[in-house]
């Protein structure tokens, strides 16, 4: 059975107890169930569509989805072997873990762009580009992809983060929101999972991460090396379900609204704010070129250090196998379009 475990984990130990109680990731009469970590938000819309439309059942893969409140806890659980896959833990975070020795493999994606820049309404018309960050106090969620995009934009603009503005770091995007709301920060670098909360709080979104770095990757689908080695068929079927979700969304955007209402328990307004926001670009493609560019970005601005062998940590073959199986099973111009996109972004 494909299911969501309604549990918010703060530690790998806590999540382990849940897996032991529920028998997650164990072989049973129905086969192996992939243990999938996720966060609530637009970055999880494609897997939620796959659940809502029963695409995982259609492709023959069992899943146990486990909810996390932040990417750090999810990545720690993945690193501890308590998850097989993480679907919405960013790009910068997984790359940082990989550079420090974590055995992760990027096998696909869920989202590009879509992270909001938050301000109070009264200064929204003053924030039109990264240049307008000068002299401001900026709250940002450390190690989130949006944080990497923000700092990279500062570097490209020649803005010194030590002299030209004040940066306050937080662990969670919701803390960034509260800092802006309370006046502790002038500008907040947000994430997709707080778009609805931002608007509910009466804050404005004058810029998006896409404005700072067009088409930047976010929320890669990251698996453990063990899962890639021992559960490749399940991962391919998982990606097939996600691709079916991408096709469904392209043909019927309302399917994403329905999925987030039913699976993520969002209000209709929140679901629409997330799913129908044009800056959020849903895509299962691994986008190897974008991931490599982000790592170069991170090292160039001294955000991270070390070497990464991308031939080992990005495996695009699972995605391509899933895509070509679908194309063979049910030929459609949509799959041809995705194959062209794959060539542009990965070869």
- What does the pLDDT look like over 251-291, one tens digit per residue? 999 999 999 999 999 999 889 988 998 899 999 999 999 99
Pairing status of strand 281-282 against strand 104-112 = antiparallel
Fold of 3-113+216-346: D-Maltodextrin-Binding Protein; domain 2 (3.40.190)
- Architecture (CATH level 2) of domain 116-212: 3-Layer(aba) Sandwich (3.40)
The chain-wide mean pLDDT, for the chain, equals: 90
* Confidence (pTM): 0.85
- At 185, list the tokens: 């920060």
Residue 19: strand, helix, or coil: helix
* pLDDT at 20 > cutoff 80: no
For residue 94, the 8-state DSSP code is H
For residue 131, count other CB atoms closer than 10 A to its CB: 12
- At 171, list the tokens: 């662990």
More confident position, 19 or 339: 339
Residue 207: strand, helix, or coil: strand
**pLDDT, tens digit, 9 for 90 and up, residues 287-318:** 999 999 999 989 988 888 888 999 999 999 99
- At 244, list the tokens: 């079916």
> In the chain, which residues fall in CATH 3.40.190.10?
3-113+216-346, 116-212
pLDDT of residue 307: 87
**pLDDT, tens digit, 9 for 90 and up, residues 98-123:** 999 999 999 999 999 999 999 999 99
* pLDDT at 19 > cutoff 80: no
> 28 pLDDT band (50/70/90 cuts)?
very low
């Amino acid at each position: 059975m494909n299911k969501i475990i309604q549990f918010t984990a703060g530690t790998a130990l806590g999540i382990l107890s849940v897996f032991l109680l529920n028998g997650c990731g164990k072989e049973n009469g129905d086969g192996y169930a992939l243990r999938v970590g996720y966060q609530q938000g637009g970055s999880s819309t494609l897997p939620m569509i796959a659940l809502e439309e029963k695409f995982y059942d259609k492709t023959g893969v069992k899943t146990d989805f486990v909810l996390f409140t932040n990417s750090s806890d999810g990545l720690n659980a993945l690193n501890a072997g308590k998850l097989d896959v993480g679907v919405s833990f960013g790009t910068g975070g997984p790359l940082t873990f990989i550079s420090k020795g974590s055995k992760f493999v990027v096998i696909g994606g869920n989202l590009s762009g879509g992270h909001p820049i938050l301000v109070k309404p009264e200064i929204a018309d003053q924030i039109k580009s990264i240049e307008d960050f000068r002299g401001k106090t900026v709250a940002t969620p450390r190690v989130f992809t949006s944080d990497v995009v923000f700092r990279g934009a500062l570097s490209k603009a020649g803005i010194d983060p030590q002299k030209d503005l004040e940066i306050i770091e937080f662990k969670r995007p919701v803390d960034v929101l509260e800092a802006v709301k309370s006046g502790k920060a002038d500008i907040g670098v947000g994430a997709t999972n707080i778009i609805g909360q931002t608007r509910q709080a009466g804050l404005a979104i004058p810029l998006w991460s896409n404005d700072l770095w067009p088409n930047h990757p976010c929320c890669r689908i990251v698996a453990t090396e063990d899962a890639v080695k021992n559960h490749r068929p399940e991962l391919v079927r998982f990606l097939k379900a996600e691709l079916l979700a991408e096709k469904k969304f392209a043909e019927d955007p309302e399917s994403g609204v329905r999925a987030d209402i039913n699976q993520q328990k969002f209000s209709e307004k929140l679901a629409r704010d997330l799913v129908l926001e044009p800056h959020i670009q849903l895509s299962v493609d691994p986008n190897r070129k974008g991931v490599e560019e982000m790592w170069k970005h991170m090292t160039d601005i001294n955000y991270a250090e070390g070497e990464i062998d991308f031939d080992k940590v990005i495996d695009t073959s699972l995605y391509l196998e899933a895509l070509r199986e679908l194309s063979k099973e049910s030929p459609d111009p949509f799959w041809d379009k995705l194959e062209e996109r794959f060539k542009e972004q990965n070869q």
